[in-house]
Chains A and B, each alone.
Chain A
Amino acid sequence: MRLTLFLILASLVLLTSCTGNTQRKQVTLAVVSGVEGEALKQAAADYEKQTGTHIDIAEFPYTNLFEKELIDLKARTGAYDLIMLDDPWFPRFAHEQVLTDLTPLLQKRGKSGPDGDFVETSLALCRHPYQSGALYALPYVGNSQLFFYRKDLFEKYLMKPPATWDDVLAAAKTIQEKESAGANGGQVYGYVERAAQGNAAVADFMPIFWAFGGEMFDANGKPTVNSPQGIAALQLMIDLGKYSPPGYASFNADDVGAHLLQGTAAMSINWPAWISSFSDATKSKVIGKMEFTTLPGAQQPGQAEIGNWLIAIPRDSSNADAAIDFLLWATSAEQMKRSAQRGNPPTRKSLFQDPELVAKYPAYPAQLRSLQSSRPRPRTPYWNEIENAFGIFLSKANSGDLTAAEAMNQANAEIEKILQRAQ
């Protein structure tokens, strides 16, 4: 009896391994659901038709993708041959040494490295350590923040596009006071911030923090968010909150988008993914009135936060060669142009200047300028934990629980604790 059972099991194992060993090349790809993953899925389908390489897609919502990928990679299952990564996750993956160094694979194909058409700030994200280290990924979607403002209101009150955060504050005041019995029949808030704890608050704050000369860490890696510059930056965020819709301390990106589309707020920091919805008559009450530009500065020139999607090959992939072929194909100028046409900003300079694409996406020149001058979130494997702690105190300051100085001092202490634990 035991023998029969054993024979059945053994034949099952043999059978399954046979089907896995067919002649066709096979690659498994983990993608995020939403527009970024959708474009890559369609590219994968095209690739399959062209080359016959079968591509399995594993799709996950944004919040699950990180945990799913890191668990599988750390457990060394080899389940994925290619993974999409949001750039702030990259240091963690690189630190855990679960990614494949791409340079040897490129050299095998007669290339010394990635080609020079990639935007430098995007490519720098793919190296560990940042900018200088080995190449573990290629950039696929080139997002960076933009400053959104209502062109019509700025013209109406004879204001120039804001160059500094002080300009923004003054413009927000003017618009909110003068549009309070609004032309659209309702209140127009001068600005809309998002300060929900976590990613939202931190993403909205970093450009202000950097413009004021704030740095999260000093040269020795000690946290310095409670520097005078940091506290002044948070104070500006709180001041700007006076012209933001009530409850913004719990706003996320969709709340900001809703206010801008409804025409109930005049300015914001936001991501390029929102641009197309402003010309969509079913969603937008402000068609043709929204302008997109680079971020305002202060003591320092304005810098946007970069937010790119990268594609990497896990170290335990058994199909690294097939994977790199697809990766190079998908990030080629020709294919990335198709991704751009499907709604994703590219990571190649030539495509940001491509006449056909610029005609379709008039904000591309501004996006390229923003991307080229952008900054990454601090490169640390503990970013998720630091962002969480930092975001809590930013949100508390914006909801009126703490003063700017209290929030920054407490945030600094928590960040220091996180770093100490890691040592």
Chain B
Amino acid sequence: MPKSRRFFSAPNKRELLLPALFLAPALAVLLALSIYPLIYSITISLQQETAAGVTWGLGNFARLFSDNFFLTALGHTFIYAIAALTCEFLLGLSLALLLNSQIRGRGVFRASLLIPMMLPPVVVGVVWRLMLNPNFGAINGTLKQFGINTESLTWTASPKLAMLSVIAVDVWQWTPFVFLVLLAGLQAIPPEPYEAALIDGSSRWQTFWHVTLPLLKPSILIVLLLRTMDLLRVFDQIFILTEGGPGFATETISLYIYRTAFRFFDFGYAAAMSFVLLALTNVISAVYIKFLQAKETI
């Protein structure tokens, strides 16, 4: 095709062409799958559909403040995230410290601890839904064997116990992840600081507080950051376990966003909620990074 050659006659243009060609697919995918949807979701979050037609403005964001469902779901999300994160971190840290020592059979423990984490959240949801069933479930069945009255222990069906149940399932599934990251962090600490502490005559508690914890800080930061982001957008397990119920007792932001978008078909409002969730996650992450990194320099 001699005609087409004319376009690329300059040699420097030809040199540019090849790298550009290689970059183009990745760029196209990025544009199509990330950038375009992001811009599109910003525009629809600024649109409200009314009987008169589409109006532009911040109406969707203003509506958030008078929406009881949204505010309650936001509260639930934070309760869920804080409670689950605290339990997972404390349990994960204890397990990591325990299995970092030279106890017997630690290989078996380490391997078996990782099982919950490897299951898909949906499977975990289904398994726990069956176990927590008040009438036929394994948990109440076991409690009955010990002569405990399970009449009022309806777990996911009880407005008081439902939140506790979904948090417990999350702790069951994700403590292993915290454990794994912290264990890796512990094993990366060289023996010298411990030897020095031993020579200086520090107690076990002092060693933990002044040697282990500061050196573990990067791992702690990573694991808290990842878990917080995951917890704030939790969806699958709760959707399977309770679908946000009973009533509204375990509805989180993600569930409410899903419902608004795909049940009520109000994409603009759902997008607005998503951006609020994104902003909150960013703020919290920034606080973590600042707080945990600043202390490291002391």
Contacts and interface: CB of A to CB of B under 8 A. Distances in A.
Interface in A353-409: 382, 384-385, 388-389, 392-393, 395-396, 398-401
B290 to A, nearest CB: 39
B247 A246 contact: no
Contact of B51 (A66, A245, A264, A423): A423
Contacts of A165: none
B14 to A, nearest CB: 10
- Interface hub of A195, A196, A246, A258 (most chain B Cβ within 10 A): A246
Contacts of B7: 2
Contact of B264 (A3, A249, A388): A388
A121 interface: no
A389 B69 CA distance: 9
A272 to B, nearest CB: 25
B187 to A, nearest CB: 44
A246 B245 contact: no
A99 to B, nearest CB: 16
A235 interface: no
Interface string A131-144: 00000000000000
- In terms of DSSP, what is the predominant structure of the interface of chain B? loop
Interface stretch (B30-38, B85-93, B152-160, B230-238): B152-160
A391 to B, nearest CB: 9
Contacts of B50: 422-423
Contacts of A293: none
A1 interface: yes
A182 interface: no
Contacts of A66: 262-263
Contact of A401 (B51, B134, B247, B263): B247
A196 B63 CA distance: 27
A396 B51 contact: no
Contacts of A250: 154, 156-157, 162, 242, 245-246
Contacts of B266: 385
B278 to A, nearest CB: 22
B1 interface: yes
Q: Interface size class for chain A?
A: 35 or more
A385 B263 contact: yes
A50 interface: no
Contacts of A398: 246
B4 A396 contact: no
B159 to A, nearest CB: 5
Contacts of B158: 247, 249, 399
B259 A247 contact: no
B204 interface: no
B248 interface: yes
Q: Tell me which of A195, A258, A421, A422 has the highest count of chain B C-beta atoms within 10 A of its own C-beta.
A: A421
Interface in B1-60: 1, 3-4, 7-8, 50-51
Interface string B245-279: 11111000000000100111110000000000000
Interface string A171-197: 000000000000000000000000111
Contacts of A223: none
Top 4 nearest A-B pairs (CB, nearest first) are A247-B157, A396-B247, A250-B157, A247-B154
Given A67-B265, A247-B156, 8 more contacts: A2-B7, A245-B135, A246-B154, A250-B242, A250-B246, A259-B135, A422-B50, A422-B51
